[in-house]
Structure 1
Amino acid sequence: MQNEVPWVGVVWFSQAIPRHSFVMWLIVNRKLKTQDVMQAWSASGNANFNLMCCSLCTSGPDSHEHLFFECGYASEIWNEVKVKADMGEISNQWQAIFDYLVGIANSKKASHVIAKLLVSAAAYFVWDERNRRLFTTKRRSKAQLVDVIFSTVRLKLQTMRFRRSVQTERVLRDWSLPRGLILADDDNG
């Protein structure tokens, strides 16, 4: 049996959205089929990966580091998401984002759960948009993608219950959530 990895609470937590967790697991384990990974497979030399580029910003091949969140398109998404996640000081580099998340992985604070939900939703939808652009003619603007991320997380938050606190009041206000999501005092037991 293997030891538990320090990032388990970043990827697999009770409030997580399963498909987002799966993509996060792929990202953490560097298993996404980005162009840098596919280039390593090309022993035959039939494919010219030098001609391939990021479908989001078209400035170089996509890789884990580029796609999450150094790409110009993804960076603009991240800049909006990180403010809502109370991660304004975190840079647009996956390692910095990941290190922060590992530090809050087991926290039950609403703001930390929301940060994990937002990062995994952003990663999921950036990956989805990358694939949309590679395999279809459909495209979403940055504003549309940010709206999808926030709407998805807001819907998830509506299924949760929160303990009464000043922080909870702020979360409900910031996300325009009903006060009915606060546990009654006799439910806090």
Structure 2
Amino acid sequence: MNDQDIIQLYWDRNQDAIRLTEQQYGPYCHAIARRILGSPEDADECVNDTWLQAWQAIPPTRPNRLSIWLGRITRNLSLNRLEVRQAQKRGGGHATVALEELASYLSENPVSGSVAPAPDDAAITKEIAVEISSFLRGEKPASRHVFIGRYYYFASIDEIAARTGLAKSRVSVLLHRTRQRLMRHLIERGFEI
């Protein structure tokens, strides 16, 4: 069954929509949640919450690509759960390591050594997100896929290497160089990094 057929089931309020969504996109959404949370139980809860949010949002929403839309919901729910969990205690996991890696790289200016203030303002955060998307569109596919795999899907370097067929050292080098280019891109656009 294709995306539009499943979406139509949601519009018709047919509960088979959830069962078919689970069959078709369950493994994908579980993989996203497990990478971020590290816990199969927490991942299951986030994925179940994803199906609930999909049920509540369709209608009126009509996603163009159901997989991307569901993945985004799962990712956001997982990050929210991780944030709550880490507020209670500082933890590890792929998501924490990846986010700290990127944040530390972008928050410290290698020339002056100064640390930029965290962008608490939602408008600034959105501007940075737009610039990162713009930057990634201009990157070579290999660099873009490795970067997105690491910082959006929170895949480990080993997982990225296995998926892309690149050596782990090559993945690390691509990430390092892409982060450097991203930092230069943001500085050129007037962001204080």
Q: Please give the range of the TM-score, normalised by the shorter of the 2 chains.
A: 0.3 to 0.5
Q: TM-score, normalised to structure 2's length?
A: 0.35
